[in-house]
Amino acid sequence: MLDVDSVAHSGGWQRFHAAEKACFGLGCLGVALLAPAPGGGLVVAVAVLLLITIGPARVAPRLLLRLGLPALGSVAVSAIVVLVDWGAGPPSAAGSRVEAAAALTGRSTGAVACLLFLGTTIPIGQWAAGSRAVGIPDPIVEVGLAIHRTIVVGAGLVGSLDRAARARLGYRDARTALRTAGLVGGGLLGRLYDRDVRHDRAVAARRGTGEPPVARIGPPSPVRLSAAVMGVLVVALASWTVVR
C-alpha cells in the first residue's frame, strides 16, 4: 500500500463523509487558484497543511514532506523555467518575470497542499464510490481504479526490488547505481505484466467481469457538509484578508 493510501485508510478523517472532505479540499483548491497570488495560495497552503498535520489525520510533517516533495520539486522547476530567459544566446535571469514566477509558485504550492489533503484523507474506495455517486461514468472510474492499482503494485515492486538491490550494495557508486537502475527498471516491466496476468486469472476464476468491487456510500450529513463549505469560506476570507 502506498504511504498516502495508508494514511488515508488509518487517519482520523475516516469518520467524515467523502463528499465533505472533497467539498473542503476542492473548495480550497479553487481558492488557491483564484485568490490573489502569490499570498493567497500560500495562505491556503499553510491553512491546509496545518489541518493535515494537527487535524484528525495527524500526518507526521516528515511524511507529508516526503509525499509532497515530488510535486513541490516540479513547482520549483517550473518557477525556474519562468524566471530564466531562454531566448537567443546563453540563458539568463529575467528580472521582469519574478512576479509571474512568484504567482506560479504561490498558486501551485496551495494547489499541492489541497491535493495532499484530498490524498491523505479520502481512501481510494471512497473516491470511487463518491465518483459514481455524482454520476461519473463507470468506465472512467474503473480506468482510474486500474491506474491506481497499477501504481500501487508498481510502487510495491519498485520498493522491494530497490531494497533487495540496496541489500547487495547496488547503489555503492554511480556506476553500480546506473546498472541497478537498469536492472530494476527492466525487472519491473516483466513483473508488472506477470502480476496483471495472474490478477486477470484470479478474477476470471471467481467469475469476475473485470469490474472492481466498490463500496456504496450513503448521503453526507447536511450539517457537516455545511461546515466544510464554511471552512472553505473561512480559508478564502483569510487569503484575501492577508493579501489585501
Partner 1 sequence: MTGLVATGLEYRYPDGRVAVDRVDLEVGPGARIGLTGRNGSGKSTLLLLLAGLVRPAAGTLSLDGAGPAVGGAERSGWRGRVGLVFQDSDDQLLAPTVRDDVEYGPRNLGLPADVVAERVDRVLALLEIADLAPRPIHALSLGQRRRVAIAGVLAMEPKVLLLDEPTAGLDPLGTAALLECLDRLHRAGTAIVLATLDLELALRWSDRLIVLDEGRVVEAGPPDVVLSSAHCARLMGRGPAILAVGRQLRAAGVLPSGENLPRDLDQLLFWLPEPPKREPRVLTLR
Nearest distance in Å: CB 243, partner 1:
35
149 in contact with partner 1 (CB under 8 A): no
166 in contact with partner 1 (CB under 8 A): yes
* Closer residue to partner 1 in complex, CB, 167/223: 167
Separation between Cα atoms, residue 40 and residue 49, nearest integer Å = 14
189 in contact with partner 1 (CB under 8 A): no
* Closer residue to partner 1 in complex, CB, 131/180: 180
167 in contact with partner 1 (CB under 8 A): yes
172 in contact with partner 1 (CB under 8 A): yes
55 in contact with partner 1 (CB under 8 A): no
**Per-residue x/- mask for partner 1, residues 109 to 128, rule CB under 8 A?**
--------------------
165 in contact with partner 1 (CB under 8 A): yes
* Closer residue to partner 1 in complex, CB, 6/221: 6
Nearest distance in Å: CB 180, partner 1:
7
Alpha carbon separation from 174 to 8, 82, 90, 178, 180 (Å, rounded):
36, 31, 29, 6, 10
Nearest distance in Å: CB 60, partner 1:
7
Three-class DSSP labels, the chain: CCHHHHHHHHCHHHHCCHHHHHHHHHHHHHHHHHCCCCHHHHHHHHHHHHHHHHCCCCCCHHHHHHHHHHHHHHHHHHHHHHHEECCCCCCEECHHHHHHHHHHHHHHHHHHHHHHHHHHHCCHHHHHHHHHHCCCCHHHHHHHHHHHHHHHHHHHHHHHHHHHHHHCCCCCCHHHHHHHHHHHHHHHHHHHHHHHHHHHHHHHHCCCCCCCCCCCCCCCCHHHHHHHHHHHHHHHHHHHHHHC
- How many other CB atoms sit within 10 Å of the CB of residue 105? 21
69 in contact with partner 1 (CB under 8 A): no
53 in contact with partner 1 (CB under 8 A): no
Among 170, 235, 236, 239, binds partner 1 (CB under 8 A): 170
Among 105, 126, 180, 239, binds partner 1 (CB under 8 A): 180
163 in contact with partner 1 (CB under 8 A): yes
Residues that bind partner 1 (CB under 8 A): 3, 6-7, 10-11, 58, 60, 63, 157, 160-161, 163-172, 176, 180, 183-184, 187, 190-191
